[in-house]
Structures are given as structure tokens and as C-alpha cells.
Structure 1
């Protein structure tokens, strides 16, 4: 392993850790980000934190302003939220169709495991339970995208979902059951190697997810008002 490889692995780990704090609202939307404070919290030097923030800026999860440094991105507007789902509806059904004809046994096991863990994350509607549920929700979508064999599509969808998940802690009660049922239909179609049904099931899931997230968008905008 070259010296550059462990450095890159560290940068990837730090980037993932900060991104998780952003989507979990451990770092609130719009909050100022202090490089030294983040480095101390993650037990790393400031260098990988700077690299991570630059990457997260490119993903749109943080913003950098002259003389003010980095801040967490604010929650998107209603119009941008609609545009986000327009893009997901274009790409994710296609990703599901590709996965239906390309997924292997390992991918099917990963999808089944994510769905099982989503179903297990029920009960108390606590913030931590919702975090676990949505972590496996994201993994389910990530496995589908990566199983399609198009790395650019998978990377693009990952960025889109990061923005979607900024709203995830505003989900109304009852979302886990509906989401699991919809994921099961997608998984069944992929397991049956039926690309048309997989695409249709994913499209239905995204339309319903958008409808469920709208109250969260309103709640988030009310908090900012």
C-alpha cells in the first residue's frame, strides 16, 4: 500500500463521518463549521477535515463563503426539493431496472439484509431508531444503484439522497411500514430479474416518498421562519 492510499482512506472516512453528522442533524443546517473543532472531535489533523469539507462543498452539503469559512448547507427550498425528486425519478427507476438484470447473489443478500434491518428498527419512534432505519434505507438504495454497474449513476444518486436525507428526521410516524412494503416490491422484482416491474416499483416508491416528505419540508421551513 502506498503512502497516498492510507491518506485517501482517512479522507474518505472523515468525509463520511461529517456527512453523517450533517444528515443526522448533529450539525444543524446553516451552522458554522470549525475545522479545528471537527478535527478534535474526529481525532484527526485539520488536513483531512479540510479535504473532506471541500468534497462536501462539491456535493452541496456544505457551503464556503469568502472570509466566513464553511457552513452546513441550509435546507433546500420547495422548488429545489421538487427538482431533486424529478432527477431521482429519472435515474432511480433506470438503476432498479439495471440491477434486475445485473445483481448477483451478494447484492441480493445485501438488499435482503437492509430490508430486514429496516423492519427491525421499529417501535419507539425515537430519533436514534429513525437514524438506524434510515441508515439501512440509504443502504438499500445504494446497493441497487451500485448493482447496476454504472458508477457515475451510483455516485450521482448518492449525492441526491444525501440532500433528501437532510429532511429525514422530520418524517411522520408510520413511514417505516409503508417504506418497507415498497422496498419489498422493488426487491421482489429485482429477485425475479424483471427490469420493467423493478423500474415501476421504484417509481411508485419515489412518488410516495415525495408525498410523505412534503410535511417534513413544511415543518423544516416553519422552523426556519
Structure 2
């Protein structure tokens, strides 16, 4: 299993959480590809830690749908699964709608400015084909209401299901299809600024529904769920 050459990325504190984050991000950004077998010893060497926090991280990633295991036989990056992605989109959309609903009465002028600036960065990244920048700016945009609402349950659910969805959003943001999100973000900010809670929620829902056509036309990864060959 090829892994990034850099080592020692995870500090000794918070090994379990940081190992989870590092492996998760490598899956989301495609460094660890769908269907690729994972070896906990190699991952531990890459991160500069013991195998125990790596195994714990892989168990969490399996719960999130990013990793599949057959105990005693193999561990691999989950293939792209349209059904799982549709379920994740529904959950993620609902959580962002709830965050916006709770945040609208609390948003300050500074919060609205932060959302506008994030959307500007998002638009700029899309124009130059910077997928990583677009995802980071999109996260920043939607993160404002999530932070302002202060709902830890919303944050926890998004932490679990957003990474699975981000693998698909990379496809959308690498194409022209992602550019409609800029106008949708503008509408969310406009409705939030006007104190129109229901309008802001509806605009947020419409924004997340733009993933549906991608999922409807996509085919699952050709990698088999049971890689017994080799």
C-alpha cells in the first residue's frame, strides 16, 4: 500500500484523534484511493506512532463509511457508494438546515461578513480549478452558522458524515456544476441578513440538493467489496 513519504505528522498528544484526522483526510483527498488496501503497520510508520491509535482510527472510519474491513483478512478504503452518499447528503443537509435555523437570530454583522468572504474565496478557487481551496472555503462558509448555533450534536453528526460526502463534492467542484453554489451561498447570506429564517433554511436546503444530480448520474466504484485476489 503506497502512503505519503512524510513521517511523524502526529504529535504524541491526542494521538488517537490526530491519527483519525490524518487518515480521514488522506481518504477524502484521494491520497488513499477507493478500494486501496490499508496496512496498519505502514500507516503507523507514516504517522510516526504505534499501531494501537491507528487501529482505533480505522475502527472510527469504518463507522463513518470510509473504511471497510474483513477481520483477519483485509482493511481497505471504501469504494465510492452512491447509496451511502445519498444517505449522507440527507443527513448533512438536515444538520446544516438546523444550524442555520438556530443561528439566524444570533448572527452578527461580523458573521455575515465572514460568510461573504468565504464565498468570495470559494468563487475564486472554482475559477482557477483549485478544488482543495474550494472545499476549504465551502467548509468555512457553512461553518459559520454551525459555530454560531453552538449545537454540539449538530457538530458531532457533521464530523461523522461530511467526510464521506466530501469525496463526491471533489468531483462537483472540479467541474462547472459546482459554480452554481456561489449564487446559492449569496442567497443564504441575504436571507440570513434579512432575518428570514425560513428563507435561509430553504436556500441552505437547495444548496445541498445540488449534489443530487451528481449522485443520480454516478456509478459506483468498480472495486469489489471483497478484495480476495492477491
Instruction: Give the TM-score normalised by the residue count of structure 2.
Output: 0.78
Q: Is the Cα contact below 8 Å between 1:32 and 1:72 reproduced in 2?
A: yes
Q: Which residue of 1 aligns with 2:166?
A: 165
83-92 vs 180-189, greater mean Cα deviation: 83-92
Unaligned runs of 5+ in 2: 1-10, 225-230
Q: Distance in 1 between matches of 2:126 and 2:94?
A: 31
Q: Is the Cα contact below 8 Å between 1:23 and 1:165 reproduced in 2?
A: yes
For residue 193 of structure 1, give the secondary structure of its aligned residue in structure 2.
coil
Q: Which residue of 2 aligns with 1:210?
A: 212
Q: 1:168 to 1:207 in 2, by over 3 A?
A: closer
Q: Is the Cα contact below 8 Å between 1:33 and 1:70 reproduced in 2?
A: yes
Q: Is the Cα contact below 8 Å between 1:22 and 1:28 reproduced in 2?
A: yes
Structure 1 position 90, deviation (Å) = 3.3
Q: Distance in 1 between matches of 2:99 and 2:72?
A: 41
Out of 74, 78, 81, the residue aligned to residue 76 of structure 1 is 81
Out of 175, 184, 188, the residue aligned to residue 186 of structure 1 is 188
For residue 35 of structure 2, give the secondary structure of its aligned residue in structure 1.
coil
Q: Which residue of 1 aligns with 2:69?
A: 64
The structure that is helix-richer by fraction is 1
Out of 86, 92, 95, the residue aligned to residue 96 of structure 2 is 92
16-25 vs 82-91, greater mean Cα deviation: 82-91
For residue 168 of structure 1, give the secondary structure of its aligned residue in structure 2.
helix
For residue 75 of structure 2, give the secondary structure of its aligned residue in structure 1.
strand
Q: Is the Cα contact below 8 Å between 1:30 and 1:73 reproduced in 2?
A: yes
Q: Which residue of 1 aligns with 2:36?
A: 31
Structure 1 position 109, deviation (Å) = 4.8
Instruction: Give the TM-score normalised by the residue count of structure 1.
Output: 0.80
83-92 vs 47-56, greater mean Cα deviation: 83-92
The number of residue pairs the alignment matches comes to: 213
Q: Distance in 1 between matches of 2:128 and 2:120?
A: 17
Q: 1:141 to 1:158 in 2, by over 3 A?
A: farther
Q: Which residue of 2 aligns with 1:3?
A: none
Q: 1:224 to 1:70 in 2, by over 3 A?
A: closer
Alignment of 1:126-137 (within 5 A): 129-137=130-138
